[in-house]
Structure 1
Amino acid sequence: MTRRDHTAEAFVRSLFGHHGRSMLAYAERLTGHRAVAEDVVQEALLLAWRHAEHLPAPEHRRGWLLAVIHRIAPDRNPRSHHREPRTTAPTTRADHHATLLHTAG
């Protein structure tokens, strides 16, 4: 593992250590499934790591992470297949992530 890898791992572990319980509880409430909630939390942490330079100050990160989960969870929620279809969809996964970052930040 490189030094950069260790730094990235430490960053994600720190975020999860500080906010993991509330992230997981919120994601599970939104999805109704523990395994799906874990996937949602992992995706939120991955987004935080990829865009670490754009994250809010540490005292505001919990809110940012929960907002990202709020945006991700409905797409992963097995109970929400009856939802109205999206009227506009991001053209790529990167567009989707940019939308999440913009609206959550």
Structure 2
Amino acid sequence: MPRVADGDSAAFRLLVDRHADRLLGFAQRMLGDRATAEDVVQDTYLSLWRKAGDWTPQARVSTWLYRVARNAALDRLRRLKPTVDPEDVTLIDSGPAPDRGLHDAATADKVRTALDALPERQRAAIVLVHYEGLSGADASAALDISVEALESLLARGRRTLRQALADQRAELLGEVR
């Protein structure tokens, strides 16, 4: 980061190469749209270039990047919320390949739909811990909350997901019978 702060483009490129795929996956899960997620990642790296001098060694670079990406994603969601009809939103399928079977694809779609319905903070916590594999300490730092608050968000998010998936299953079984 100090090299990036000094304008070293090779150091910047190294950070981009190291983190771009994971940040894109995180942003896409937060937003449900690849093109918007790519914009968020681009904004994140622009912030990195401009504010590298503000980074402190107490924070891991990845944690700092996730925090910037999360804030950029939330800004996009807030801007889009009043003008987007939830019925018109097309989700990008990042689930299993078609040859994995219709059941797997249907399950992934149900989980994705339930995840998208979570409140933003719960969704971010679940995505960082379960999809991105961050530790509790790193995820809480990325969200700028305590580890206890993260655990609370995770517990509420998991409970809501379980209930939503159980409701979907009950609906399906009710239709089949």
TM-score by length of 1: 0.61
Q: Displacement of 1:34 after TM fit? A: 0.6
Larger radius of gyration: 2
For the 8 Å contact 1:31–1:79, the answer to whether it is kept is no
Residue in 2 that maps onto 1:99: none
Question: Among the aligned pairs, what percent are the same residue?
Answer: 35
Within 5 Å, give how 1:39-78 maps onto structure 2. Answer: 39-57=39-57, 60-77=60-77
For the 8 Å contact 1:27–1:69, the answer to whether it is kept is yes
Structure 1 alignment gaps of length 5 or more: 1-6, 83-102
In 1: Cα distance, 2:22 partner to 2:73 partner = 14
Q: Displacement of 1:26 after TM fit? A: 0.4
The C-alpha deviation readout for 1:53-105, integer Å capped at 9, x for no partner, is 22234x810011001111110222389505xxxxxxxxxxxxxxxxxxxx86x
Whose RCO is larger (CA < 8 A, sep 6+)?
Answer: 1
Residue in 2 that maps onto 1:38: 38
Structure 2 alignment gaps of length 5 or more: 1-6, 83-142, 145-177
Runs of 4+ in 1 over 4 A off after TM superposition: none
For the 8 Å contact 1:41–1:69, the answer to whether it is kept is yes
Residue in 1 that maps onto 2:151: none
The code of the aligned residue for 2:41 comes to V
TM-score by length of 2: 0.38
Residues 1:17 and 2:17 aligned together? yes
Give the count of matched residue pairs.
78
